[in-house]
Chain A
Amino acid sequence: MPTSTPADSVGLVQPQQFQFDQPLELACGRQLDSYSLTVETYGTLNADRSNAILVCHALSGNHHLAGYHSMDDPKPGWWDSAIGPGKVIDTNRFFVVGLNNLGGCHGSSGPNQPNPETGAPYGPDFPIVTVADWVQSQARLADRLGIQQWAAVIGGSLGGMQALQWAIDYPQRLRHCIIIAAAARLSAQNIAFNEVARQAITRDPQFHDGHYYAEHAIPKTGLMLARMVGHITYLSDDGMREKFGRDMKRGKLSFDLSPQFEIESYLQYQGERFSTAFDANTYLLMTRALDYFDPAALYGDSLSEALRGAQCKFKVISFTTDWRFSPERSREIVDALIDAGKAVSYAEIDSPQGHDAFLIPIPRYMEVFGACLGQVAADIPSSAGEPLRCA
């Protein structure tokens, strides 16, 4: 077991649980009478609570952004490459907040957590929540932490959609909005891939209409297939060719259906691993939140109109080989922001890694991202007083 964590790591971290008993009205018309959010924070909240950054997670992410849960933890949090002392999101300067969104499967209220009314897991009865619902719950979390205005809300992919929703729904509660590898709405192709994933899960005999917990079953095959399809959309054609090409495991064809190409076993491995670590109902719910996201819909289909009331400064970043949410989709956001007269900058990072690039510390990406965070730091109102230790 290692005896220390890397010097630029936030080190050993522990999640906290926040219980909320004020009912949350949801977009679907239902409400959650009470709910709980699993949260991690890094760095120190300053005296006037003005240096807080919210990082929103994507489809399979969670509250564990950075650092390690124990000394023998093999991997740090999912965005450890960007968050830590001296890193792009510098925990010496910022107080960073990550949470597991409602409907998630890593501790927050969701399908795999007990429904307070019955004591049994919610399963498929957990409401289909939307990006706007998440943002509303995140605003409640900000209230609880005493954060009136975020220095920045940042997210990649589905996380970027939450950042965008924040700018629309709570214009006075953030100074900067950083949207990475996202889109203002899904395309028919995006929804199509999500539907394949959902069909794979719901048609798995082990799914039991979502009540698999009671059956002590897991729709492993379905979840694995869903992840395999999803994973293909996270990589680029070029990236796959570079990494796997037509490389073979044993160097020759075996004229049967066993995995022979490296890409086959890679996808199977990724799918297998995911199927034991993630909850199928959460996967279904998250893909629906993606499908439903369309902030322009409430504004006559005009994203510029939706953004008219926004007050923060925007930074939008995309990656050249991302075909899940291509640069074109980011440019739609940028165009709407220019049209609405909002402060916005945009960079398109050249990378072969496809959609996954947003998690990879590509030098130019980190340079651009760092310059954005420099502005976030510069816009923190100068304060007297000593930093507060956060509870």
Chain B
Amino acid sequence: MRVDLDIIQNWIRPGTRVLDLGCGDGELLSYLATHKQVTGYGLEIDHDNITACLEAGVNVIEKDIDEGLATLRNASFDAVIMTQALQVMHRPDQIIDEMLRIGKECIITFPNFGHWRARSYLALRGKMPVSKFLPYTWYNTPNIHFCTFKDFERLCVERNIHILDRTVVDNEHRDRWWLRLWPNMLGEIAIYRITR
């Protein structure tokens, strides 16, 4: 299992109710259902991923998260998860608000644009960073709202969001002790557990 998903599953208590926004092929939900008796739903928009979820027996709802989550009731889930999708949302702040409304707590992962490689790419080449991990050019990228760890934490302060846990992994989703020394420079993927 991907290391970020492994970190997340450790944060989910057995027997709880989970909503996974942008659930991909359902790997996390499938794992949680089998190993932690978690009941959950994934929201997804990609057709192949939806079919993969159906084949895996994962509850998947075809839905564009950008259209809002108004039909889901307040605090109706123990945890709302969003992995690697925050940067493609039209309004990340609004979706975080919605996640905190629906879920008692939320787990969010996103690529850190403050990583030294992104910083040096822009500083030295004067061009928007393109890498194996973030392979798109500026005009065709689905990633329209990049942020850094610092940016995210400032949003949390402004919106009165409590950070329960934070960790970082590298772009291969590995956990390295030295990433934690200087996360905003060295960490490539941020994993946050937040509540209100």
Contact = CB atoms under 8 A, between A and B. Distances in A.
Interface string B40-69: 010000010011011101111111000000
Given A344-B59, A375-B57, A338 B72 contact: yes
Contacts of A364: 47
Contacts of A343: 39, 59
A364 B51 CA distance: 9
A378 B39 contact: no
A375 B54 contact: yes
A374 B55 CA distance: 7
| 6 shortest interchain CB distances as A-B pairs | A371-B54, A335-B71, A346-B61, A347-B62, A348-B62, A371-B55
A313 to B, nearest CB: 8
Contacts of B41: 338, 344
A348 B63 CA distance: 8
B61 A344 contact: yes
B17 interface: yes
Interface size of B as a range:
20 to 34
Given A338-B41, A364-B47, A345 B54 contact: yes
B125 interface: no
A345 B51 contact: no
A374 B59 CA distance: 14
Contacts of B39: 341, 343
Contacts, number: 47
Nearest to B17: A341
A25 interface: no
B132 interface: no
A378 B57 contact: yes
Given A331-B71, A338-B72, A341-B39, A368 B54 contact: yes
Interface residues of A, number: 21
Given A335-B72, A344-B59, 16 more contacts: A315-B54, A334-B61, A335-B71, A338-B41, A341-B17, A343-B39, A343-B59, A345-B59, A345-B61, A346-B60, A346-B61, A346-B62, A346-B63, A347-B50, A347-B62, A368-B54
Contacts of B57: 375, 378
A83 interface: no
A345 B54 CA distance: 7
A367 interface: yes
A182 to B, nearest CB: 16
A276 to B, nearest CB: 41
B69 to A, nearest CB: 10
Contacts of A346: 60-63
Interface of B: 17, 39, 41, 47, 50-51, 53-55, 57-63, 71-73, 76
Contacts of A347: 50, 54, 62
Contact of B51 (A315, A339, A371): A371
Contacts of A371: 51, 54-55
Contacts of A339: 73, 76
Nearest to B47: A364
Contacts of B50: 347, 368
A315 B60 CA distance: 9
B54 A372 contact: yes
A364 B49 CA distance: 12
A142 to B, nearest CB: 25
Contacts of B63: 346
B44 to A, nearest CB: 10
A205 B59 CA distance: 53
Nearest to B57: A375
Contacts of B54: 315, 345, 347, 368, 371-372, 374-375
A372 B57 CA distance: 9
A354 to B, nearest CB: 19
A345 B73 CA distance: 18
A268 B73 CA distance: 48
Given A331-B71, A344-B41, A368 B61 contact: no
Contacts of B73: 339
A338 B51 CA distance: 19
B68 to A, nearest CB: 12
Nearest to B43: A346
Contacts of B58: 345
Nearest to A350: B47
Contacts of A335: 71-72
Nearest to B19: A338
A262 B22 CA distance: 45
Contacts of A338: 41, 61, 72, 76
Q: Which of A341, A344, A346, A378 has the most CB of B within 10 A?
A: A346
Given A331-B71, A338-B41, A345 B17 contact: no
B38 to A, nearest CB: 12
B104 to A, nearest CB: 15
B51 to A, nearest CB: 5
A368 B71 contact: no
Given A341-B39, A344-B61, A346-B61, A367 B51 contact: yes
A307 B91 CA distance: 34
24 contacts: A338-B61, A338-B72, A339-B73, A339-B76, A341-B39, A343-B39, A343-B59, A344-B41, A344-B59, A345-B53, A345-B54, A345-B58, A345-B60, A345-B61, A346-B62, A347-B62, A368-B50, A371-B51, A371-B55, A374-B54, A374-B55, A375-B54, A375-B55, A378-B57
